[in-house]
Structure 1
Amino acid sequence: MQSRLLQALGIPFTALLSVVFGLFLVSFPIGIFVVFESELGGDINHEYPLTHLELFRDTEMYQSPSWVTIGDVFVVLWALYAVVFVISIMGPRQGFLRSLSTVISHGRYDSPSSYMVGITKWFSVLVLASVAIDLVQRGFGAEIIPPVYDNDLEQFFNVSLAPVLEEIGFRIVLLGIPLFIMYSGRASIRYFARCLWRPYNLDVVSYRKATVLIVVVAVLFGLAHIVTGEPWSEGKFVPATASGIILGWAYLRYGFAASLLIHWATNYFVFAYATFVSQTNLVPLEEAFAHPLLSSIEIILIMAGVASVLMMVAHRLRLGSKV
């Protein structure tokens, strides 16, 4: 009975995750286009020196001569995400499409076997949670106001860079290393590296301590968004903390590839489509987020989030019936 339920839910679940995957894929060339072929930066372009960015304002490097441009760094970031994306399609145990096909054909749902299933699923859940939190907060008068950037190209560059820096800091350093200390039974550099890449390799006998650590790091992640750098409004704290919990759980269950690409999706993926709409329709970036294309993508992600939650509940019920 439970297998049939999983198969029934599996049809919309796999269809929606496949659409999300396709949207991910298309965002790669879109990002290249808006950085190198559009007028996104106005008076600056991809040849703008890296050290002239506001990112370096409070450092000695600010506006110092540099042969490195934002285009150079963007290509490195783009290539990194592309490589991790390809890795995520193929592993760790099953390819993305094969994992989805087993849900429909046999009613078997083994999410950790595929990075990309976890990435598309948990990103959709993250969007669903963020929308729900935003609706509740608006009822209490708490709005989410993003930081103001003077240049759209600089903003797109910063949101593309942030996932790498923040995932290394919050997931690898603040979560991965403590998890290794807590659950590792042996000292080995190779094993240490494997566990940082995928903490699932650790012998986590009880998830209680790990969950507490994930929540603590998520709170720090939420605070970082409202008190450091170019801060958001205070309304960002709760959704950022919720995102931190999802990213932390994805890191624990799937590894760094999953948390990095989920974070990439919240930043690069969303802004790639928004900047593309802005440039092709000649409208401000703020207005682009209200464009029917972006609204349609949001609806698809919400539907995928709902399907993912239902799928996880059905899977949990199936496991419970076997106990």
Structure 2
Amino acid sequence: ISFVLGPYIVFNTSIGKEIVGKSSDFYIFFIGLAFSFKSNMQSLFISEWVIYLSIFTILAVTGKEQVSKLLKEKRALIADPFSNNLMAAISIFSITVVIVLVVDWIQYNVGIETGNLPEMNPAELLCIISHAPLSEEIGFRLSLIGIFSIIFLRVWRKKISLIDYLIAPIPTLRSKLKDTEYDEKRVHAIFLPLILASGTIFGLAHIMPSSVWEVGKATEAAFAGIMLGIAYSYYNIGVAILIHWAFNYYSNTLYIFEENFVNIGLSNIMDTTIILLGSILILRIILANVILKNR
């Protein structure tokens, strides 16, 4: 639904018509550094909307299982939630939402402020936050984790396509290297610090002097950044982008539509569903680890 609502808000509403022909400064990140460029808001929005839709479609048909096959065989509800790339994105997103909510609750109760998005035309806001998943996942995950892991692992010596590796680091190593060449402990030892560093830098980037956020946002963004780093490293850049997209575009599109047009109550239903799913998955992971340890 949010895929349809986004273009509707930006192009076919009164608030969307207010930004016709309007340009704004946007940013591309590389190794955590920001590089600005100016673009027409609506043009950039629809271009990136097509990219997100393409990523969504590709993820649905990649991974160990295809979503269409699971639905056809009526196994969608009992299948491994991480067996398909789209399902993995939804699962990691749900888990991350629960983690961020817990962090936010703790910070709120100890008086740490998070801040709010600036007041502006909702269609303009949607264009701005829709750009972030692409630029920030390239800048904080692909370039930080991907490029530095290439250096530490000396990937160029392993006769692996660097493009394939940058898209899906650990899956590429697992599929391209022989069992005798793939050292799982070493891979984890290299990726874990990079994931933590990427998440930390991502968190700090949210409270730079030019940012509208308060200090509490750094913690939330850092935890989210770590989860995005896991998604990128152990799945692919598309999964990380889609999770980030879900935080920015998916959620806010529903909120903007209901606040400015028709309150259909869908955002509350979806929020509850996501929190329940995330909680169930966290419990499932904990129980699975307990069972494995007791064997």
> Which interval holds the TM-score relative to the shorter structure?
0.7 to 0.9
| Higher strand proportion (structure 1 or 2) | 2
Whether the aligned pair in 2 keeps the contact of 1:226 and 1:234 (CA below 8 Å) is yes
Cα deviation digits, residues 126-171 of structure 1 (max 9, x gap): 1101111111111101122123143222211110001111000001
1:79 partnered with 2:50: yes
Q: How does 1:152-171 map to 2 (within 5 A)?
A: 152-171=122-141
| Alpha carbons of structure 1 residues 60 and 176: separation in structure 2 relative to 1, 3 Å | closer
C-alpha contact (below 8 Å) 1:124/1:305 kept by paired residues: yes
Distance 1:110 1:125, change over 3 A: closer
TM-score, reference length from structure 1: 0.76
Quickly say closer, same or farther: Cα 1:204–1:95, change in 2 above 3 A.
farther
1:177-223 deviation line (CA, Å, top 9, x unaligned):
11222234444896110011001212452213311111111010000
Question: Counterparts of 1:1-323 in structure 2 under 5 Å?
Answer: 26-41=1-16, 44-45=18-19, 47-50=20-23, 53=24, 55=26, 69-96=40-67, 98=69, 109=80, 111=82, 113-187=83-157, 191-200=161-170, 201-202=172-173, 203=182, 205-206=184-185, 207-227=188-208, 229-281=210-262, 292-317=265-290, 319-320=292-293
Give aligned-pair identity as a percent.
25
CA distance in 2, matches of 1:176, 1:82: 24
| SS in structure 2 at match of 1:150 | coil
* Aligned residue pairs, count: 275
Offset at 1:69? Answer: 3.1
Decide whether the 8 Å contact of 1:183 with 1:204 is kept in 2.
no
Q: Secondary structure of the equivalent of 2:199?
A: helix
Structure 2 Cα separation of the partners of residues 61 and 96 of structure 1:
37
Are the equivalent residues in 2 in contact too, given 1:40–1:279 (CA < 8 A)?
Answer: no
Q: Give the deviation of 1:313 after TM superposition.
A: 2.8
Gaps of 5+ in 1: 1-25, 63-67, 282-287
